[in-house]
A and B are shown apart, each in its own frame.
Chain A
Amino acid sequence: MWIPLTLREVRAITHYLGVLTIGLGFAMSVPLVTAVLFGEWNPALDYLVGIAVACALGTLLMLADVTRPAISHRQAFLISPLAWLIASAVAAVPLALSGNYAGYLDAAFETVSGLTTSGLTLVQDLDHMAHSHNMWRHLTHLIGGQGIIVAAVSLAVGLKGGGAFSLYLAEGRDERILPNVVHSARFIWVVTAIWVLVGTVVLGVANLVQGMAFSRAGLHAFWITVAAYDTGGFAPQSLSTMYYRSGVFELLTVFLMLAGAMNFNLHADLWRGDYREIFKNIEARTLFGNMAILAGFAGAGLAATHFYSANSELLRKGLYHIISANTGTGHQTLYAGQWKDLGSVAFFAVILAMAFGGMVSSTAGGIKSLRVGVILKSILLEVRRMLSPDSAAVRTSFHHLTDRELTPQLVSTALTVFVIYIATYLAGGLIGAAYGYNLDAALFESISATANVGLSTGITSPTMPTGLKVTYMVLMWAGRLEFFTLMALGFAIVISLRPKRIVR
């Protein structure tokens, strides 16, 4: 039975959307301070307007219910997608005023891409962008990567009732790390802070060695760290990570990308000193096995084209882009137009790497290696059943944090998500092709958007059709929330739009 939303529920949802909007306004104080520190007075006003919009809109939304209502499970699943939508809309205000975007839609595309940690960009003249605007672009990765809701839950901003865990789940996270969900959310931020600090220092030193001035070395290091660790993919220069012209720099970003694609539960195990988990865990084994196989294909494909003459170049370019794609980061050391030079084998290896994605409960997108591992296990189980005597009860188990039996329910859930992802990848590709782009390039771009990767063949640009911009925005949003939350929102709106059914 479909139960329409009550007016009281709608008011509670609106109230908490207001709370989250104000929280986003507070986050804009970071680029505001950056603008003041670097004397960027016009961008400073862009952020003042952004904060004012967030405060005004947030306080008005909060007026919908002043009783500090509790959140139910189903309300949580409606707050989450709407929070991402409102956050993207409000976060786009200062960028739209920056002059680096063709209009508000392009700025909104950028914030959807930033918050979902996709990394596809419509920015213009990035190489002349103000530090404060770059700070905000990369902060959207940090806020979105850890989760807008996780940020709110970790601060426990006015959340009442048992809805905190539901909100946490609704944001595309499958499992809590610690028994208490608030502690889980805070743990995510602590782990992130450590990685970001270490990454910034190490990349900062690498930049200084390369000859960058101190302030620029530090800022660039922080931005690239955030973009790599949050598997985002934005960069402060139009050449992405190729700008830094350093193999060491690329290697360091590889470590950050891999750390970002790791399940926060694995981070917790490493934190506790349990290093064996990473070798036993089905997710980790699937992810690294997948990367090794696809890197092999990419390397062989590249070698066949003779595009790169040295093995070290094959390894550097092949491995970097497979890891960037598989972790869902999207940093690239190639021009968008160069993908066609790499041959179809390497090209499709990158497509598959993007489609599979990183681990669950990480900052990465895509189908996720746990589901791929479960599906592979179930295929092996079926083969074993076929080869076993009729009387044999064939079962199998896998290790993911604990030893678990592979049940039909688990396989069914994994296959459902797998099928939805594949259908969305194909649908996005067909829409791109319908706009006149090559099907392979359109498929690449669709998977990149849906799996929140950010690698691009060049389709994503300020000149692409408006309909395609909106399509990719929806794909990034749906992919980040893993579809079900979005479907819940869609059905709730449809069944509640019949006024006589709203229970007062």
Chain B
Amino acid sequence: MLCVACAVALAFGCRPAIAQPMVVADLVARGSDLDGHNIRLRGEAIGDVLRADEETVWVHVLSGGTAVGVVMDRATAETIPRLGRYRRIGSTLEIEGVFNVACDEHGGDLDVHAVSVEVLDEGSEYADPPSVWQLAISMALFALAAVAVALQRRMRRKFDAG
């Protein structure tokens, strides 16, 4: 039975440590348990591409409400169509790489060193249209303030006149 199980596992290329893509929040929560392991991570690319060294850069990936820094080749980072920020959903990436809970190469930061990066979704832009009711409310409040100022001036004139 054991031989059969091993044969099946080998046939399907089973690698338990990276079987399912994880969200960043789970990755950070499991921290030390996964230190040094190969992991598969899925999330939205956000922010900026920041320089790590001459050949590699940092791309931050967000999922489950938590972000993590991923070190990858500059050339790979250039293939990411969108980085998430206001009015922009960044590209969804699936990253295979090595997880470090305290990376010796990068000042003890928790990070992921990417081995491969796949763009699953290009991301998109979205509108955040202004709402008319806010404009109406502010105009009404400014009118109220104007009335209060006029009233204040009138009361002060009355007070100054004795």
Interface SS, A side: helix
A127 touches B84 (CB 8 A): yes
A41 touches B137 (CB 8 A): no
- With both chains docked as a complex, state the minimum distance between the C-beta of A425 and any C-beta of chain B, in angstroms: 28
A52 touches B142 (CB 8 A): yes
A317 touches B69 (CB 8 A): no
B138 touches A63 (CB 8 A): no
Task: Tell whether A211 pairs with B48 under 8 Å between CB atoms, given A56-B142, A128-B84.
Answer: yes
Chain A residues, Cβ within 8 Å of B62 = 127, 238
Task: Select one of A42, A59, A97, A307 contacting B102, CB under 8 A.
Answer: A307
A59 touches B106 (CB 8 A): no
- With both chains docked as a complex, state the minimum distance between the C-beta of B15 and any C-beta of chain A, in angstroms: 26
B149 touches A59 (CB 8 A): yes
Interface stretch, picked from A331-339, A378-386, A428-436, A496-504, is: A331-339
Asked whether any CB of chain A lies closer than 8 Å to the CB of B161, the reply is no
Task: Select one of A51, A245, A314, A333 contacting B58, CB under 8 A.
Answer: A245
A49 touches B101 (CB 8 A): no
Task: Tell whether A316 pairs with B108 under 8 Å between CB atoms, given A216-B48, A245-B50.
Answer: yes
Residue in A closest to B86 when the chains form the complex, CB atoms: A130
A212 touches B48 (CB 8 A): yes
A48 touches B31 (CB 8 A): no
Interface size on B, residues (CB 8 A): 54
Chain B residues, Cβ within 8 Å of A209 = 51
B66 touches A335 (CB 8 A): yes
A53 to B50 CA separation, bound complex (whole angstroms) = 40
Chain B residues, Cβ within 8 Å of A127 = 46-47, 60, 62, 67, 84-85
Asked whether any CB of chain B lies closer than 8 Å to the CB of A210, the reply is yes
B48 touches A313 (CB 8 A): no
Most B C-beta atoms less than 10 A away, residue of A56, A58, A67: A56
Query: A114-150 interface mask toward B, CB cutoff 8 Å, 1 = contact, 0 = none?
Result: 0000000000110111110000000000000000000
Q: Which residues B4-31 have CB closer than 8 A to chain A?
A: 28-29, 31
Query: B120-131 interface mask toward A, CB cutoff 8 Å, 1 = contact, 0 = none?
Result: 000000001111
Task: Tell whether A63 pairs with B152 under 8 Å between CB atoms, given A308-B102, A337-B28.
Answer: yes
Query: B61-72 interface mask toward A, CB cutoff 8 Å, 1 = contact, 0 = none?
Result: 010011101000
Asked whether any CB of chain B lies closer than 8 Å to the CB of A174, the reply is no
Query: B21-56 interface mask toward A, CB cutoff 8 Å, 1 = contact, 0 = none?
Result: 000000011011000000000000011111110000
Interface size on A, residues (CB 8 A): 59
Query: A298-336 interface mask toward B, CB cutoff 8 Å, 1 = contact, 0 = none?
Result: 000000000111101110110000000000000001110
B138 touches A49 (CB 8 A): yes
Chain B residues, Cβ within 8 Å of A124 = 65
A305 to B58 CA separation, bound complex (whole angstroms) = 28
Q: Which residues B126-162 have CB closer than 8 A to chain A?
A: 128-131, 134-135, 137-142, 144-145, 148-149, 151-152, 155-156, 159
- With both chains docked as a complex, state the minimum distance between the C-beta of B128 and any C-beta of chain A, in angstroms: 4
Task: Tell whether A42 pairs with B128 under 8 Å between CB atoms, given A66-B152, A211-B50, A245-B109.
Answer: yes
Asked whether any CB of chain A lies closer than 8 Å to the CB of B57, the reply is yes
B47 touches A341 (CB 8 A): no
A341 to B129 CA separation, bound complex (whole angstroms) = 44
Asked whether any CB of chain B lies closer than 8 Å to the CB of A239, the reply is yes
Chain A residues, Cβ within 8 Å of B144 = 56, 59-60
A308 touches B108 (CB 8 A): yes
- With both chains docked as a complex, state the minimum distance between the C-beta of B161 and any C-beta of chain A, in angstroms: 12
Asked whether any CB of chain A lies closer than 8 Å to the CB of B110, the reply is yes
Task: Select one of A46, A128, A338 contacting B134, CB under 8 A.
Answer: A46
B106 touches A245 (CB 8 A): yes
- With both chains docked as a complex, state the minimum distance between the C-beta of B143 and any C-beta of chain A, in angstroms: 9
- With both chains docked as a complex, state the minimum distance between the C-beta of B99 and any C-beta of chain A, in angstroms: 13
Task: Tell whether A238 pairs with B66 under 8 Å between CB atoms, given A52-B142, A210-B51, A216-B48.
Answer: yes
B110 touches A338 (CB 8 A): yes
A337 touches B29 (CB 8 A): yes
Chain A residues, Cβ within 8 Å of B106 = 245
A129 touches B86 (CB 8 A): yes
Chain A residues, Cβ within 8 Å of B131 = 42, 45
Most B C-beta atoms less than 10 A away, residue of A44, A127, A244, A246: A127
Asked whether any CB of chain B lies closer than 8 Å to the CB of A40, the reply is yes
A341 to B106 CA separation, bound complex (whole angstroms) = 18
Task: Tell whether A41 pairs with B130 under 8 Å between CB atoms, given A56-B142, A245-B50, A245-B106.
Answer: yes
Q: Which residues A75-98 have CB closer than 8 A to chain B?
A: 97
Task: Select one of B47, B85, B130, B152 contacting A44, CB under 8 A.
Answer: B130
Given A309-B102, A334-B110, A341-B32, 12 more A-B residue pairs with CB atoms under 8 Å apart are A40-B86, A41-B130, A49-B137, A52-B145, A53-B141, A56-B148, A59-B145, A60-B145, A127-B62, A237-B47, A243-B67, A316-B107
> Which 9 interchain pairs have the tightest Cβ spacing?
A313-B108, A52-B141, A59-B148, A52-B138, A55-B145, A45-B134, A56-B141, A41-B130, A48-B138
16 A-B pairs within 8 Å (CB atoms) are namely A45-B130, A49-B134, A52-B142, A56-B144, A60-B145, A62-B152, A128-B85, A128-B89, A211-B49, A211-B51, A238-B65, A239-B60, A242-B109, A316-B107, A335-B28, A338-B31
